[in-house]
A and B are shown apart, each in its own frame.
Chain A
Amino acid sequence: MIMGIEQIIFYFFAASVLISALCVVVMKNLVRSIFLFFVTLFSLAALYLFSLADFIALTQVVIYAGGVLVLMLFAFMLSNRELLNSLKPSASGFKVNNFAGILISILFLFILLSAIISTDLKQLAWIQESVPLSPADNTTHQIGIHTMTTYLLPFEILSIFLMMALIGAAHLARKGNKA
């Protein structure tokens, strides 16, 4: 099989997502782990681009890299020093707790992988009937139209939900909170 440039870039980003995600998870140092999270999110945005979702990719970069990551760094810095010291790993390598976690996630991975490999997605009726997106399509335009027509109610509910989350977060993070 000859790999085109598209395949090479795709698998490069896929590898970068998985490797950096694994590093984030096993890293003991929280700062490094948060900054590697950044790499994972950017590579994921690149993968979204490969399925022709340019607006989603940009949203991913703006919301995650711009918002969530900065928030995490803030939380980290506000609860610093003792946090770092208290997170020193206990010297006894593998804990029982750890082992069970690894076992569960690997078994779950096998279930997922065998399910994905054994299904033939091309046979699904709606995929066969559908016209796939082509790179020339203006998906941002389509998303704008869908937001204001089919998905108007979820969109409005989401705005209320966001305000609730905003007020809730501000209330929780207030100074001198008695609750």
Chain B
Amino acid sequence: MIPLSHFLLISAVLFCIGLYAVLTRRNAIQVLIGIEFMINAAVLNFVAFGRYDKIAGGGQMFALFAIVLAAAGVAVALAIILNVYKYFKSIDPTKTDTLKD
């Protein structure tokens, strides 16, 4: 059996990779991928702790909910990115600096 802390270490590193992508990438799609990494790191933690939660099954249920919420978020975010691209002709988050027309 793999010790619990190894799962946590992997997810910590994955979270920081996602954080790096969100902070530095100049491309909205890669920023979105960074957010997905962070969510997946959280899901990995849920699942790893869920192994000790046989009766209530909270870990695995919450992981399932988190995956579905992330997928819904991606759908909306990509629609927004497409609109931003149509309007600004660029998806660099640092160049999109107005909310109004």
Chain A positions near chain B (C-beta within 8 angstroms): 6-7, 10, 14, 17-18, 21-22, 24-25, 30, 33-34, 37, 40-41, 44, 47-48, 50-53, 55-56, 59-60, 63-64, 67-68, 71-72, 74-76, 78-79, 82-83, 86-87, 97-98, 100-102, 104-106, 108-109, 112-113, 116-117, 121, 126-127, 130-133, 137, 139, 142-143, 146-147, 150-151, 154, 158, 161-162, 165-166, 168-170, 172-173, 177
Contact = CB atoms under 8 A, between A and B. Distances in A.
Contact of B23 (A59, A105, A127): A105
Contacts of B2: 6-7, 10, 50-51
B60 A75 contact: no
B17 A68 contact: no
B99 to A, nearest CB: 11
Binding site of A, secondary structure by majority: helix, strand, loop or mixed? helix
Interface of B: 1-2, 4-10, 12-21, 23-27, 29-30, 32-34, 36-37, 40, 43-44, 47-48, 50-57, 59-61, 63-65, 67-76, 78-83, 85, 89-92
B75 to A, nearest CB: 4
